[in-house]
Structure 1
Amino acid sequence: MTVVPGGGAPTVPTPGDKWHKSSYSANGGNCVEAREHTGGADVRDTQNRAAGYLEFTGGEWAALVNAVRGL
């Protein structure tokens, strides 16, 4: 995982890769957004987008998703 500070330029995503809100986020304001791309995925805080994001490789992202799913 890499921390990309606010204003950091993504290295792998293309302009067509769009951020989307997690389906597990409630409407209470504590939300995260993700965007998947060929290199993995990025995750950021919906309320603080300018702070940057976390960048995951494909293997890291798969491990996180599998852990959350309990696999």
Structure 2
Amino acid sequence: MNAHERLPHIDQLAWRKSSYSSEEGGECVEVAACPGRVHVRDSKDTTRAALAVRPTAWTAFVEFAAH
């Protein structure tokens, strides 16, 4: 990505929550992908800062967590 490319604002991302999550306020995160980054945030407090990682790091984490 070069300095002239504009990423979407965090509020404009399409956030998704796991299908394993309940609406009862459990421990859950939401993720949103955009070019070159996967954003992760706390679904209970979406005003807190999101973590941004490279897609390869997110894939490695998901593969590790699945075991």
| Alignment TM-score, normalising by the size of structure 1 | 0.65
Q: Which moved more, 1:43-52 or 1:20-29?
A: 20-29
Deviation at 1:12, TM superposition (A): 7.0
The amino acid that maps onto 1:19 is: W
Q: Matched residues, percent identical?
A: 30
After the TM superposition, list the runs of 4 or more consecutive aligned residues in structure 1 that deviate by more than 4 angstroms. none
Structure 2's unaligned 5+ residue stretches are none
2:8 to 14, 17, 23: 14
State the structure with bigger RCO (CA 8 A, min sep 6), 1 or 2: 1
When you count strand as a share of all residues, which structure comes out higher?
A: 1
Root mean square deviation, CA, Å: 2.3
CA distance in 2, matches of 1:62, 1:29: 26
The amino acid that maps onto 1:14 is: P
2:47 aligned partner: 50
| Alignment TM-score, normalising by the size of structure 2 | 0.68
Structure 1's unaligned 5+ residue stretches are 1-10
CA distance in 2, matches of 1:12, 1:58: 18
Larger Rg: 2
When you count helix as a share of all residues, which structure comes out higher?
A: 1
